[in-house]
Amino acid sequence: MSTYSARLAALREHLAGVPLDGFVVPLTDEHMSEYVGAYAQRLAWLTGFQGSAGTAVVLPEVAAVFTDGRYTLQVREQVSADDWQYVAVPATSVSAWLGANAGQGGRIGYDPWLHTRAWVAEASRALAERGATLVPVDTNPIDAVWSDRPAPSRARLAVQDDTTAGASSAEKRGAVADWLTTRKADAVVLTALDSIAWVLNVRGTDVAHTPVALAYAIIDADGTAELFVAPEKVDDAVRQHLGNAVRVRDRAEFAAALGSFSGKRVAADPERAVAAIFDVLEGGGASVLPLRDPTVLAKAIKNPAEIAGHRAASARDGAALARFLRWAETTLPAGGETELSAAAKLQAFREATGVWLDSSFDTISATGAHGASPHYKVTEESNAAILPGQLYLVDSGGQYRDGTTDVTRVIPVGTPSEEMRDRFTRVLRGHIALATAVFPTGTTGGQLDGFARRPLWEAGLDYGHGTGHGVGAYLSVHEGPQRIAQPFYPGGGPSEPLRTGMILSNEPGYYKAGEYGIRIENLILVESRGIAGAEQAMLGFETLTFVPIERSLIVADMLTPPERAWLDAYHAQVLGLLGPQMDDAERMWLAAKCAPIA
């Protein structure tokens, strides 16, 4: 019996003794985080799945793992079909599957600290049609059978200085207080880790690649706050930074504190706060206002200091990546390198900046067929040799004190096929179309998504993910509420109007299963766009990422004159920004890469 089969069997045995007739295992933590600490990696422990989005359901006779189109290939590589059914979302939801597969009268367990109230209501309705019920558990059954489960991180918080942040915590809390006063609310509960980090100007290392700390916060209408965090994580420097207006309490006291708002009006975000928080607030007599976290939009709209910081981070990160591409171009065709060794080399170039703090996510180092899995994560087991005739895709980013980067480039190992060049050029044309888009104030990212797809659509092609996500300021590489995606693509959903100061990715792609993947990703900044004679306010994008785009993959004759002009101007900016950071040999290579397209 394999390790994962044994774990599934142990969970079923435990559930039978509780007793429960099933259990739902999401990939999240008690903060509804996308990326979670090792202690909360329950889905990976149970199934072996290493992706960043998914859910499992375990019933007595059948178990299923739910992933979206980004992980169709990866889940089949990492999760055994002998034990698990593969279910695609959103075509089939977890709730719908439960409604079709749970036993009559069954009791299906869930951890109320890992699900939203909306999900609980939806799943309860689906199960009711089978005469089954959804049952909250006090202790997560996975934790009961995961004998060597890691403890939550004990790393200390760090101060994000006001100059880099662009506003003090007092100013940010004051804005939240004004928001509460307008809504006649007494307090707001903040549960999203990046919201807490942003509003208090602190950072942490509790989650790999995302500089946040495990904590909760409650901000009152007078601008004071309570920070619930393990006491050993706060040193004197952080206490001095937080000041008297922020009371530090043990994270273990959070649930009890929620029960102390009898007769008060308390705001909580139904998308970011778990069901248990609503249950405890209401159980304590509070009137709960289901409102979006007031820091979400403020955090998304970068201030001048954050924008300047990102530009600085992007310039040094671009130079590191360009050095890596030069190394890859000369080294990979000779053989002997693998996905893991290439990723390690890229990290070494970033570390050499002297100010690199972490990757902003697990580097997607993917050659050949692995590139066709958009969120592929290389492991010791999957690590492939990089061979001639393949396309090598690297999607990576860095965390720096002044900014978070995310960039994807593709290079051919040897001579690319004409099909590869055609597809790459179509992706490039879509990238340019979005980069040069001009649109009215109030436009959502979903309305722009098709700009990037049109060159692929014209050839009957497409890609199965959104085109852009928001990016934080030395915070999460995936930050809402802004996105560029249709509702039916992963990362889609209700679209937020784009506003000046928002940073997003521009990353169309193309993926041929079993053969190769292509994606070109830069980060872009929403800016005001003045147009002579315009009758309304207009917006556009400023490109923030500067790394050469591989010339040998471009079919120049497929580009229109404006597209050629954009590419040449972009490469001129790349050379101007990165060239001064490089030595003579590197600069000569870069100049050739950035020459006008023939």
What is the reported pLDDT for 144? 96
Residue 427 · residue 374 · CB < 8 Å: no
Residue 551 lies in a domain: yes
| pLDDT reported for residue 313 | 98
Q: What angle do CA 405, 410, 411 make, to 5 degrees?
A: 130
Q: Are 167 and 89 members of one domain? A: no
User: Is 596 part of a structural domain of the chain?
Assistant: no
Residue 580 belongs to a domain = yes
360, 385 contact by CB (below 8 A): no
Kindly give the interhelix angle for 339-351 and 304-331, rounded to the nearest 10 degrees.
130
How far, in Å, CA of 22 to CA of 5, rounded?
A: 16
Question: Tokens standing for 41?
Answer: 């990696």
Same domain for 470 and 355: yes
pLDDT in 10s for each residue of the chain, 598 residues: 689 999 999 999 999 999 999 999 999 999 999 999 999 999 999 999 988 889 999 999 999 999 988 888 889 989 999 999 999 998 899 999 999 999 999 999 999 999 999 999 999 999 999 899 999 999 999 999 999 999 999 999 999 999 999 999 999 999 999 999 999 999 999 999 999 999 999 999 999 999 999 999 999 999 999 999 999 999 999 999 999 999 999 999 999 999 999 999 999 999 999 999 999 999 999 999 999 999 999 999 999 999 999 999 999 999 999 999 999 999 999 999 999 999 999 999 999 999 999 999 999 999 999 999 998 889 998 999 999 999 999 999 999 999 999 999 999 999 999 999 999 999 999 999 999 999 999 999 999 999 999 999 999 999 989 999 999 999 999 999 999 998 766 555 567 999 999 999 999 999 999 999 999 999 999 999 999 999 999 999 999 999 999 999 999 999 999 999 999 999 999 999 999 999 999 999 999 999 999 8
The pLDDT assigned to 493 comes to 56
pTM above 0.85, yes or no: yes
Q: Is residue 558 part of a domain?
A: yes
Q: Is 469 exposed, middle or buried (0-12, 13-18, 19+ CB in 10 A)?
A: buried
Q: Token digits for 410?
A: 């593709």
For residue 581, what is the domain's CATH number? 3.90.230.10
Residue 295 near residue 195, CB atoms below 8 Å: yes
Residues 184 and 332 in one domain: no
**pLDDT on residue 70:** 80
C-alpha–C-alpha distance, residues 72 and 381, integer Å? 18
Sole residue written with tokens 């992963």: 490
The predicted structure's pLDDT at residue 417: 97
Asked, for residue 597, whether it belongs to a domain, the answer is no
Asked which of 89, 114, 145 is the last residue of a domain, the reply is 145
Pairing of strands 63-67, 85-88: parallel
Say if CB 468 and CB 496 are below 8 A apart: no
pLDDT of residue 10: 97
Q: Which tokens go with 310?
A: 């990102």
For residue 413, being part of any structural domain is answered with: yes
What pLDDT sits at residue 488?
65
Q: Are residues 325 and 269 in the same domain?
A: no
> CB-based contacts of 535: which residues, under 8 Å, 6+ apart?
none
Tell me the CA distances in angstroms from 194 to 150, 159, 445, one per residue in order: 22, 14, 22
On whether both 313 and 344 belong to a single domain, the answer is: yes
Last residue of a domain, one of 295, 327, 357: 295
The token pair that represents 270 in the structure block: 């139904």
What does the DSSP assignment read for 403-469? EE--EEEEEESSPPPHHHHHHHHHHHHHHHHHHT--EETT-BHHHHHHHHHHHHHTTT---SS-SEE
Helix (H) or strand (E) holding 83: none
Is 151 a member of any domain? no
Could you tell me if 332 and 433 lie in one domain? yes
Which residues are within 8 A (CB) of 597 and not within 5 positions of it... i.e. 6 or more apart? 551, 554, 556, 559, 564, 567, 568
Residues 406 and 457 in one domain: yes
CB atoms within 10 A of CB 333: 16
| Judgement on whether residues 193 and 114 belong to the same structural domain of the protein | no
Q: Indicate which CATH number applies to the domain containing 102.
A: 3.40.350.10
Domain count, the chain: 3
- pLDDT at position 270 is 97
Q: Is 14 exposed, middle or buried (0-12, 13-18, 19+ CB in 10 A)?
A: middle
| Structural domain contains residue 334 | yes
Q: What pLDDT sits at residue 490?
A: 57
**Of 89, 116, 145, the domain-final residue:** 145
Q: Mark whether 325 and 374 lie in a shared domain.
A: yes
Same domain, yes or no, for 275 and 343? Answer: no
- Beta-carbon contacts of 263 under 8 Å, excluding residues fewer than 6 positions away, are 285, 286, 287
d(CA 434, CA 58) in angstroms, rounded, equals 42
Q: What are phi and psi of 460, to 5 degrees?
A: 75, 30
Q: Quote the pLDDT of residue 90.
A: 86
Looking at the structure, do residues 413 and 494 belong to the same domain, yes or no? yes
Nearest one of 182, 200, 204 to 190, comparing CA atoms: 200
List the beta bridge partners of residue 216: 228
DSSP 8-state code for residue 222 = T
Query: Which residue is listed with tokens 């992980």?
Result: 71
513 and 472 in a common domain: yes
In this structure, what token pair is assigned to residue 486?
């249709």
496 closest CA partner among 448, 562, 555, 566: 448
Q: Which residues span the domain enclosing 230?
A: 158-295
